[in-house]
Amino acid sequence: MSHNQLHTASECLVGAEREIQQLSSALELRQKQGLFLLDKTPDMSSNMALQKAKRLLGVRKAGHTGSLDPLASGLLPICIGRATRLSSFLLNHDKRYIVEIRLGVTTETGDAEGAVVNEQPVPELPTTLLNQTLASFVGEIEQVPPMYSALKYKGKRLYELARQGINVERKARLIKIYQITLLGYDDHHLRLDVSCSKGTYIRTLAEDIGNQLGCGGHVASLRRTEVGGLNLESAWTLEQLQAIDSRLSRMQCVLDADEMLSDWPSVQLTQELAFYINRGQAVWMPKLPASGWLRIYSKDNQFIGIGEIAADGKLAPRRLFTG
C-alpha cells in the first residue's frame, strides 16, 4: 500500500471514529433527555407499556404523556430523563383518533370491556343522516365525563366508585371537536376519524353519537394516531423494539426532546444571551412574538429549553435542559 493510500485510509478511519463518537454523544444525550414514541398494543395498560419500554431502553426515569385505555392502541409518547419536564405540555396538546363505534349496544364502561346494559334496534342510517349527525358534534361542545374515568371525586378516582356501584354527579366540561370524518359504516359498525382537544372522552362521544342516532352505542376499538405534532410514523411497538439486539441500537429509536414541541416557534440565542438565560434571567431580543411559548436554542443549535414571552416583552426561561 502506497503512502497516499495509507494516508487516505487513516483519514477514513478518523472520520469513522468521529462519526461513532458523535452518534454515541447523541444517544447519550437522548438517554438523559429524549422522546420515545410507543405504538401501544390493545392488550396492556399504559403504565405496563411504559415499564416495558423503560427496561428495553435501559432508562431509569421516564413517563408517558396521557394514558390510553387498555382497550386502545396507538401513539403513547414517553418522555425520558429531563424531558419529563415537558410532559405537561404534551398533555395539553390536541389529539386524533380512529374509532369504531358499535351501534345498538350500550355498555357499562362505554367500551367493549364493559357489561352490556342495553340493546336497541339500529334504524336505517343513510350516509346523509350520518354526516349530519356527526357535523352536529363539531365545534365547542359540553361533555360529561364518564364514571369509568381517572378523574377524582372527593379524593377517589371515579372508576373506583363506579366499580362499587356508586354513581356521582359530574359537571359538564367544554371541549372542542375540530373534525369528524366518516370512514365507513357497515353491519352496525361506524368508523370515524376524530380530531379533538385535550380532555375529550371518545367513549362519551361514541355514546352521545349513538344516542342521537336513536340506538345507543359503545367504542368497539380505538386507536390514537396523533398527539400535537407527533404521529405514528416514527413510533415503535414493544415487539419491534425488543427485536433490536442492543440497547445502543434501541436508543436510535429515541427522538430528541424538542421533537415533542416541533409545532412551536423557536429562537436562537447569541452566546451572551444564552449565558443569561441559563442563569434564569429574562432577555430582550428583536423580532420576538408578542406572546406565547418558544423553543430556545444556543448559537450552535443545541436545545436549551423553553421560554415564554413575559409581560414586558422579554423572553423568560421556564424549563431549562442545560447544566
Identify the structural domains of the chain with CATH numbers, from first to last.
3-92+230-259 (no CATH), 95-227 (3.30.2350.10), 264-320 (2.30.130.10)
pLDDT at 305 over 80: yes
Task: Give residue 244's pLDDT band: very low, low, confident or very high (50, 70, 90).
Answer: very high
Task: Give residue 136's pLDDT band: very low, low, confident or very high (50, 70, 90).
Answer: very high
Active site residue ranges: 69
Q: What average pLDDT score do residues 45-54 get?
A: 94
Interstrand relation of 217-227 and 230-231 (parallel, antiparallel or unpaired): antiparallel
Q: Is the pTM of this model over 0.75?
A: yes
Q: What b/e sequence results for 154-179 when a residue is b if at least 16 CB atoms lie within 10 Å of its CB, and e otherwise?
A: eeeebeebbeeeeeeeeeeeebebee
DSSP, collapsed to helix, strand or coil, labels residue 272 as helix
What pLDDT, on a 0 to 100 scale, did the predictor assign at position 1?
Answer: 54
Residue 35: which of 270, 321, 317 has the closest Cα?
321
Phi and psi based region of residue 257 (left: phi greater than 0; alpha: psi -120 to 50; beta: remaining): alpha
Cα separation, 76 vs 91, in Å, equals: 11
Residue found under cell 370515524: 192
